[in-house]
């Protein structure tokens, strides 16, 4: 997801957490995601106009790591001036969870030449290339 990492609906009893029963995949699912911390549409820290955004992006990332059985603590790497990579490895079935956080990014596609008027577009990384690299390394089980 770009500006849209979720791991189920917010829990009505604690809107700062996902409702476990609303996201229960039958197998580990590799995840790569990108999100700007200045996203006003789907706020990085949670909240916003949509009820789906009650919990934060880091909470969604951590939930995917839990769902995928990632046993190791996440590794953080400062990729560039405004981009941080948080990666969970050692996950069941090799289903890594990777989040690129753009500190000054809005609700935008990293590397896009298009300014959608919804915050700053970073050119420090390109989502297209990073996704392709990730997908090549995490093929669908049973695919040749």
pLDDT grade for 143, boundaries at 50, 70 and 90: low
46: left (phi over 0), alpha (psi -120 to 50) or beta: left
pLDDT tens profile 64-96: 999 999 988 999 999 999 999 999 999 999 999
The share of the chain scoring above pLDDT 90, in percent, equals: 87
**pTM of structure:** 0.95
**Does residue 142 have a pLDDT over 80?**
no
Q: Give the C-alpha separation, 29 to 65, whole Å.
A: 10
Q: Give the C-alpha separation, 70 to 63, whole Å.
A: 10
Question: Are 12 and 21 in contact, with CB atoms under 8 Å apart?
Answer: no
The domains of the chain are located at 10-23+31-137
pLDDT grade for 144, boundaries at 50, 70 and 90: low
């Amino acid at each position: 997801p770009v500006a849209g990492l979720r791991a189920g609906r917010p829990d009505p009893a604690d809107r700062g957490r996902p409702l476990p029963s609303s996201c229960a995949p039958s197998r580990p699912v590799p995840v790569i995601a990108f999100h700007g911390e200045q996203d006003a549409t789907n706020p990085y820290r949670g909240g916003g106009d949509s009820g789906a955004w009650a919990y934060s992006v880091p909470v969604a990332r951590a939930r995917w790591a839990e769902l995928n059985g990632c046993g190791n603590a996440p590794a953080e790497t400062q990729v560039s001036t405004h981009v941080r990579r948080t990666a969970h490895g050692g996950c069941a079935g090799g289903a890594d969870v990777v989040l690129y956080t753009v500190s000054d990014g809005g609700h935008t596609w990293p590397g896009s030449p298009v300014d959608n008027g919804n915050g700053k577009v970073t050119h420090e990384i390109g989502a297209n290339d990073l996704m392709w690299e990730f997908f090549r390394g995490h093929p669908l089980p049973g695919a040749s």
